[in-house]
Amino acid sequence: MEITYTYTRKRSEFGRHCNFTDWPARVTVDIPPDPSMADNFIPQDPVNVAIQHSYDMSEHEVNTERLQAESRGVNHTEGGWPRDINPQEQEQTARFRKKLEKEENYINTIMHLGTLMEHCVRQNNTINIYEEYFGEEEMAEVEDEPPSAKIINVIRDPNIPKRTATRISWQPGTSEKLAVAYCSLEFQPNVEDMSLDSYIWDLVKPNKPELTLKPSSPLVSLEYNPKDSYVLLGGCYNGQMAYWDTRKGELPVEVSTVEVSHRDPVYGAIWLQSKTGTDCFSASTDGQVLWWDIRKLSEPTETLVLDITRKGLLENALGAVTLEFEPTLPTKFMVGTEQGVVIVGNRKAKSPLEKIAGTYSGHLGPIYALSRNPLYPKIFLTVGDWTARIWSEEAKESSIMWTKYHLSYLTDGCWSTVRPAVFFTTRSDGTLDVWDFLFKQNDPSLSLKVCNEPLSSLRLQDTGRVVACGSKVGTVTLLEISSGLCTLQRNEKNVVNAMFERETKREKILEARHREMRLKERGKPEGQEAVPEKTAVEDPREVLERVRKEFFEEIEAEMRRKTRAETQ
């Protein structure tokens, strides 16, 4: 490489900042236009120009870290006693207290502290910071408020794969905790690592379960003891019965043996009204109702086979799906069966065959919910197939009131604990319906789409304001309903009672008329038969075409009604 020129610079000038000075503008290059170049351009006609103007937009995402809450407690044990005093011995502690109270220093200290305490007490009594000055002014009721409900919380099954929330039970009293039984009821699910756990959730801290219940088989039913909020009764998928004491941990205190338990899943487990608060009974699809004492689950105290022919044969028994027991009627109980029959039982009957007092038939499929009206126990609600029905004990041949047939299957239902004319139903399309028969009987007062999955269970809080709905994927949704649906209206009890009595009387008249017609049919001589009318024989093709046309017209009319309801 040949060096042509060498640039030299002093070492001190390396890295020096540039110095700028003002200088007037000057033209460096000037290219004048050339008219002769215009001949080289070719004109374009037409000219298409596309212009697009839109706002500049940006998308941002923020993912906040989930707050993990944890409960901690402090256990305080009694201390401060001298070494020679055993705090567990009442005689030693009482003797030491008497000795200490006679000392002069003790009396002077108490007198000094008493003066300070008296000052604090007088200061607190001077003004009551919790006093309500305008308590007598009640809020005006908004009579025209439309029925509504809002979701206040959602609790999800923490396990994968997801399981169905088969049963929900509120803690008695405060209703701050919720016990949920999780179980997959699909026939022979081929899922490995399926969790067996059920949970107790604290609504104040719903991020994680307060207590995990670990049964030997998944729980299908779970119920709090109304007398002891620490004790829960559970019915397992394999037919066993178990109970938990939350003070003793997550494992069951006692479990019934397989030999004396049910042969099918326990779909109903309810506590009985007793002095000890330890009696309960259960029902299963194996056709048996068993009574238990949780202090001795080694064997049931009583057994009843649900054979409505009263022969006591297990092969003729009807499978039980739901149970009902009202504490105000301690001798009666009701069972809803797979065959759509409600069996009324009397526990105090002399023989097992006499325990089946009567039956009610009206559903086309299994009865998934059975509940007595809390204000009128002789009126009860059944939910099955595509409809919900209201029955009276005095009319056994048919229900006194019923809802319309829905397009989707009904899965559960219950009465309102406050209003006697309001009840709730859940559907397999994820919809919660609130019915108020006092004002509307053809359609529900409120229909709310809770989730896309089928709803499987429903339970109402004792205050009647919060509803818990469990779904097929284990999601429990808590909804708060509007005050109009959970506040007793003026003169509502008398109006509802009159409505139930009127419908019961109407059904009795119809039953008497049907009995009279059947007696007339039986009284006719055997040779005297009704002469059938001669009718023209139709072509089977015409009949098929007419039936097909009527079927599609009915489907189109139903779709139009559904579209009109959604637009409204």
Residue-level pLDDT at 526: 55
**Pairing of the two strands 410-415 and 401-402:** unpaired
Mean pLDDT value across residues 53-65: 77
With 70 as the cut, is the pLDDT of residue 249 above it? yes
Tell which wins on pLDDT, 551 or 132: 551
Q: Which residue has the tokens 């610079």?
A: 9
With 80 as the cut, is the pLDDT of residue 532 above it? no
> Confidence class of residue 528 from pLDDT cuts 50, 70 and 90?
low
Mean pLDDT value across residues 146-155: 87
With 90 as the cut, is the pLDDT of residue 426 above it? yes
Dist CA 427 CA 335 (whole Å) = 21
**Pairing of the two strands 177-183 and 164-170:** antiparallel
Residue-level pLDDT at 142: 42
Sign of CA dihedral 386, 389, 395, 396: positive
**What are the pLDDT digits (tens) for 390-401?**
988 888 888 888
End-to-end CA distance of the chain: 91
With 90 as the cut, is the pLDDT of residue 46 above it? no
b/e for 162-177, b at 16 or more Cβ within 10 A? bbbbbbbbbbeeeeeb
Q: Answer for the pair 285, 338: CB distance below 8 angstroms, yes or no.
A: yes
**What tokens were used for 214?**
């670990």
At position 294, the amino acid (one-letter code) is I
DSSP 148-216: -EEEEEEE---SSS--EEEEEEEPTTT--EEEEEEE--SSS---TT----EEEEETTBTTS-SEEE--S
Burial of 279 from C-beta contacts in 10 A (0-12 / 13-18 / 19+): middle
Mean pLDDT value across residues 44-71: 79
Distance of CA 452 to the CA centre of its chain: 15
Residue-level pLDDT at 470: 92
Q: What percent of the chain has pLDDT over 90?
A: 15
